[in-house]
């Protein structure tokens, strides 16, 4: 049986990045409240009152043709890497491109599909797959994970948040060096007498840096306590995924999702070459441990260990990581997902049964912080591995061999 579990979510109030900063200027790109939308344009340092000689820019453009007609794309170019953000699709990130290294994958879905062209209920709740192509897709918020029934209601694959356009989108730049560049979006997931959530996400980077981060909040605007799920579905291939690639991290416990994944449990950290014709998915449920600052540390590195991505997330809000290994053919989509979340990607009813389904109080706001670094040479990769090795020193991973399902 196939399990479409590409989960990825995230959340928590704990570890915080420095947020007190003086902003030179804020430019609104689109706003429901102000009833405005700017035309396609390139913004540079001079537009924000900082040195006009800075080698960075933020570009807004509208895509045309086919299923992507009308999709808006915002590209942050910090001089070292480019980050493509999609406000039309819940502030997902299409790809991140650095020197010789890309975060993303080659999906059979080649266009950035506008949400109006997606029916999430299609194919028994698998309509989400009709537009699955980005590097980072947030899943949730009312529910995430595998499609299926929950108290007589169909829970579609990975929820709705990735197919809701942002209501407010702004660019901000710090007045003082190093002039952090931030794009903020506000996305509302709401239906009458039901869910009433707001996602506010800020995606930011420093000019010339190989690192970027997400500072996200989820707020329950309802007068009632609500169940909720968040998953950060980050998908990797390109230069990072090949035979012999490895996933490493601060892992406390791992369990295979089903019997098929259990057969390869002893090599869950290592990747195979793409299949020639077809291969099923493997999913592993990982419980990470945190460092003294409350952060889990993970990385994916290629076979030569000279290219990698490393990332951290706050474990109090994102206590789980789902590893999705889709070692299928290149044509079908050779990809792995490393997905921090506040549950594993089973159907909501199962996560409730297992005691993992969290609740958010009326009026409560929960914060999530994730930071990613593109490592393009052997020295940088070695340093990142050494940090994880040091954190893992004198620790062992609890292996649960019995499949979760």
pLDDT of residue 19: 42
| DSSP secondary structure letters along 285-353 | EEEE---TTSEEEEEEE-TTSS-EEEEEEETTT--EEEEEEE---TTT--EEEEEEESS-SS-HHHHHH
Mean pLDDT score, 251-275: 98
Pairing of strands 295-301, 251-256: unpaired
137 lies in a domain? Answer: yes
Which domain CATH number covers 271?
Answer: 2.70.98.10
Three-state secondary structure call for residue 404: coil
Place of tokens 């930011």: 204
pLDDT of residue 8: 36
Which residues fall within 8 angstroms of residue 389, CB to CB, at 6 or more apart? none
Which of 221, 281, 216, 284 has its CA nearest to residue 249? Answer: 284
Mean pLDDT score, 7-30: 55
Structure tokens at 280: 């099923």
305 lies in a domain? Answer: no
Residue 55: give the domain boundaries: 23-243+252-289+312-371
Distance CA 13, CA 17 (A): 11
Q: For residue 83, what are the CA distances in angstroms to 87, 264, 321, 343, 344?
A: 13, 34, 23, 27, 27
Q: How confident is residue 14, by pLDDT bands cut at 50, 70 and 90?
A: very low
pLDDT of residue 1: 38
pLDDT of residue 51: 73
53 lies in a domain? Answer: yes
Mean pLDDT score, 157-162: 98
pLDDT of residue 194: 96
- How many domains is the chain partitioned into structurally? 1
Q: Does residue 364 have a cis bond before it (omega within 30 degrees)?
A: no
Q: 7-21, 138-152, 260-274, 278-292: which range is least confident on average?
A: 7-21
Radius of gyration of the chain measured on its C-alpha atoms: 20
15 lies in a domain? Answer: no
Q: Answer whether residue 316 shows pLDDT above 70.
A: yes
Total residues belonging to the chain: 405
Q: How confident is residue 50, by pLDDT bands cut at 50, 70 and 90?
A: confident
Q: 4-13, 33-42, 92-101, 156-165: which range is least confident on average?
A: 4-13
Distance CA 272, CA 241 (A): 9
CA angle 281, 3, 280 (to 5 degrees): 25
Burial class (CB in 10 A: 0-12, 13-18, 19+), 31: middle
Exposure b/e, 251-284, CB count within 10 A at least 16 = b: bbebbbbbebbbeebeebbebbebbeeebebbbb
Q: How confident is residue 349, by pLDDT bands cut at 50, 70 and 90?
A: very high
Q: How confident is residue 20, by pLDDT bands cut at 50, 70 and 90?
A: very low
Structure tokens at 160: 């709705």
Which of 304, 303, 338, 301 has its CA nearest to residue 321? Answer: 338
Q: How confident is residue 52, by pLDDT bands cut at 50, 70 and 90?
A: low
Structure tokens at 247: 């996933």
184 lies in a domain? Answer: yes
268 lies in a domain? Answer: yes
Q: How confident is residue 49, by pLDDT bands cut at 50, 70 and 90?
A: confident
392 lies in a domain? Answer: no
Helices assigned H by DSSP within 47-117: none
pLDDT in tens, 355-390: 999 999 999 999 999 999 999 999 999 999 999 999
pLDDT in tens, 199-235: 999 999 999 999 999 999 999 999 999 999 999 999 9
């Amino acid at each position: 049986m196939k399990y479409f579990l590409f989960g990825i979510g995230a959340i928590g109030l704990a570890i915080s990045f420095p947020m007190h900063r003086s902003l030179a200027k804020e430019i609104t790109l689109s706003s429901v409240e102000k009833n405005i939308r700017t035309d396609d344009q390139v913004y540079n340092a001079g537009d924000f009152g900082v040195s006009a000689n800075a080698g960075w820019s933020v570009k807004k453009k509208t895509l045309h043709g086919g299923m992507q007609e009308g999709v808006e794309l915002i590209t942050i170019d910090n001089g070292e890497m480019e980050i493509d953000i999609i406000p039309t699709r819940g502030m997902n990130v299409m790809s991140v491109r650095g020197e010789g290294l890309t975060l993303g994958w080659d999906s059979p879905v080649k266009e950035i599909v506008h949400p109006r062209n997606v029916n999430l209920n299609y194919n028994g709740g698998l309509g989400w797959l009709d537009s699955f192509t980005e590097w980072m897709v947030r899943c949730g918020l009312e529910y995430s994970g595998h499609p299926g029934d929950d108290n007589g209601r169909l829970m579609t694959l990975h929820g709705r948040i990735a197919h809701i356009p942002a209501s407010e989108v702004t660019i901000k730049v710090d007045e003082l060096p190093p002039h952090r560049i931030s794009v903020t979006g506000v996305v509302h997931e709401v239906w009458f007498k039901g869910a009433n959530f707001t996602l506010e996400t800020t995606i930011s980077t420093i000019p010339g840096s190989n690192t970027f981060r997400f500072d996200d909040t989820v707020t329950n605007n309802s007068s009632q306590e609500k169940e909720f799920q968040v998953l950060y579905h980050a998908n990797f291939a390109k230069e990072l995924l090949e035979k012999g690639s490895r996933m490493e991290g601060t892992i406390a416990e791992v369990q295979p999702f089903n019997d098929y994944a259990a057969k390869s449990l002893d090599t869950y950290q290592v990747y195979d070459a793409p299949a020639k014709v077809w291969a099923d998915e493997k999913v592993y449920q990982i419980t990470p441990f945190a460092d003294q600052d409350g952060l889990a540390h993970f990385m994916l590195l290629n076979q030569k260990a000279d290219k990698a991505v490393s990332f951290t997330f706050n474990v109090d809000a994102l206590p789980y990581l789902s590893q999705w290994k889709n070692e299928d053919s290149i044509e079908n989509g050779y990809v792995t997902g490393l997905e921090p979340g506040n549950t594993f990607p089973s159907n909501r009813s199962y996560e409730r049964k297992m005691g993992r389904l969290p609740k958010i109080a009326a009026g409560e706001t929960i914060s999530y912080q994730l930071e990613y670094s593109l490592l393009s040479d052997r020295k940088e990769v070695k340093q990142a591995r050494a940090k994880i090795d040091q954190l893992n020193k004198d620790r062992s991973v609890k292996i649960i061999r019995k499949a979760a399902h």
